[in-house]
């Protein structure tokens, strides 16, 4: 049972927050840059996965993005390009970027404890030649997210160490959770065969991943 608390327990000001936690270490401030360093670029070039956070009139959104290693293209030390691969067509991230442009990126590398954080703003660009340069398996993205870096810094290993994210013996058997088909069938407003969906999904993934 969760412990009880009231609104009186909330922190109501930055002063209260800073009094509780104290000042950041100088090292944590020194690592924040306004552009990519060679070290930070090395991290990007090895990352196959990023979490993309955006904000719009409806609120905030967070979306996973993945590709082969080096999923973003480094244009220069202030600019990145991220292809928008085929998805569910909700377009939550793109809608937010088109309207408010702000975004944050969290890059992960399998087996590595540190992560890399990028804060900035972006544009959704549609250019046939540019799209074609990101082609995989004969399929190009419909658009490319061009990221303009405002701040970039790395995060230490503590969160991934506490979660044991990369530890083989911490992996969860997928069968312990509801299947995708079960969840979709439970929430669907029309007739839906969740068991068939699960049975067909591996083949569906191969056809539609790009």
Q: pLDDT tens digit string along 187-196?
A: 999 999 999 9
Sorted by sequence, the CB contacts under 8 Å of residue 86 that are 6+ apart come out as: 139, 141, 208, 209, 210
pLDDT confidence of residue 1: 60
Task: Supply the pTM of this predicted model.
Answer: 0.93
Q: Where in the chain is the domain with CATH 2.30.110.10?
A: 27-163
Q: How far apart are CA 80 and CA 82, in angstroms?
A: 7
Strand partners, 60: 55
pLDDT confidence of residue 8: 85
Q: How far apart are CA 143 and CA 123, in angstroms?
A: 10
CATH of 27-163, one of 3.40.50.80, 3.40.50.300, 2.30.110.10, 3.30.750.24: 2.30.110.10
**What is the rounded average pLDDT of the residues 17-36?**
95
pLDDT at 50 over 80: yes
Find out whether 48 and 109 touch, Cβ atoms under 8 Å.
yes
Q: In what order do the strands lie in the sheet with 49-56?
A: 59-66, 49-56, 102-108, 115-125, 144-155, 79-83, 73-76
Q: How far apart are CA 81 and CA 169, in angstroms?
A: 35
Find out whether 153 and 33 touch, Cβ atoms under 8 Å.
yes
Tokens of residue 134, six digits: 């990101």
CA 38 to chain centre: 22
User: DSSP labels for 87-123?
Assistant: --S--HHHHHHHHH-EEEEEEE-TT-S-EEEEEEEEE
Find out whether 107 and 115 touch, Cβ atoms under 8 Å.
yes
pLDDT confidence of residue 194: 94
Q: 150-183, pLDDT tens digit by residue? A: 999 999 999 999 999 999 999 999 999 999 999 9
Q: How far apart are CA 71 and CA 83, in angstroms?
A: 8
């Amino acid at each position: 049972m969760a412990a009880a608390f009231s609104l009186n327990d909330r922190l109501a000001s930055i002063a209260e927050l800073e009094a509780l936690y104290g000042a950041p270490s100088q090292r944590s401030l020194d690592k924040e840059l306004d552009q990519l360093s060679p070290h930070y670029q090395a991290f990007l070039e090895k990352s196959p996965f990023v979490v993309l956070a955006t904000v719009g009139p409806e609120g905030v959104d967070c979306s996973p993005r993945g590709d082969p290693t080096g999923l973003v293209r480094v244009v220069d030390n202030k600019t990145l390009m991220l292809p928008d691969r085929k998805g569910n067509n909700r377009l939550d991230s793109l809608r937010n970027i088109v309207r408010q442009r702000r975004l944050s990126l969290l890059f992960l590398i399998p087996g590595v404890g540190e992560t890399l954080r990028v804060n900035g703003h972006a544009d959704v660009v549609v250019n046939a030649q540019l799209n074609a340069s990101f082609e995989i398996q004969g399929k190009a993205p419909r658009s490319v997210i061009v990221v303009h870096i405002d701040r970039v810094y790395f995060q230490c290993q503590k969160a991934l160490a506490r979660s044991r994210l990369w530890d083989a013996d911490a992996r969860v058997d997928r069968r312990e959770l509801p299947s995708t088909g079960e969840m979709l069938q439970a929430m669907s407003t029309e007739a839906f065969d969740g068991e068939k969906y699960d049975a067909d999904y591996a083949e569906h993934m191969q056809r539609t991943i790009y």
